[in-house]
Amino acid sequence: MSEFIEVFTTTDIQDGAMKKGIIGDREILIARVGDRYYAADNRCPHMGGDLSSGTLTETVVTCPRHHSQFDLRSGTAIRWTDWSGIKLSVAKFVKSPRTLKTHEVKVEGESILVKLRE
């Protein structure tokens, strides 16, 4: 998909909030921070947690399942999990840290539009 698709309107998401949307067969996370909107895949690349059920602090989303953290501006993994010691080593061995796939967002009028990256 190389076109922008309307997912929500600006009145659907309050500042500091996140919401799960669907484009085709993909779950997309939309977050609002101030007057900026961010879009990313909704499933955590660590263990598949539903990111829209997690927490948002500024532009950092925290997965509710294993507390992985990602910066929505770039998808960079800030923390792979909050585990430590041997448990963390095993987790990184089983599933190495990955970035969260982010998507381009633009706002036209009240429409929040997302262009998926493949």
Position 39 scores a pLDDT of: 98
What order of strands is seen across the sheet that includes strand 102-108?
Answer: 4-9, 111-115, 102-108, 36-41, 26-33, 18-23
For the stretch 82-108, pLDDT in tens is: 767 776 677 666 667 789 999 999 999
DSSP letters, 52-100, are GGSEEETTEEE-TTT--EEETTT--EEES-S--HHHHHHHHHHS---PP
Strand partners, 39: 30, 103
Give residue 30's pLDDT.
98
Total domain count, the chain:
1
Each residue's pLDDT expressed in tens, for the chain with a length of 118 residues? 579 999 999 999 999 999 999 999 999 999 999 999 999 999 999 888 999 999 999 999 999 988 999 999 999 999 877 767 776 677 666 667 789 999 999 999 999 999 999 8
Contacting residues for 1 by C-beta, under 8 A, at least 6 apart: 23, 24, 115, 116, 118
Q: What is the pLDDT of residue 80?
A: 77
**R_g (Cα) of the chain, nearest Å:** 14
Looking up residue 67, the CATH number of its domain turns out to be: 2.102.10.10
Token digits of residue 49: 């947690």
Q: Domain range holding 71?
A: 4-115
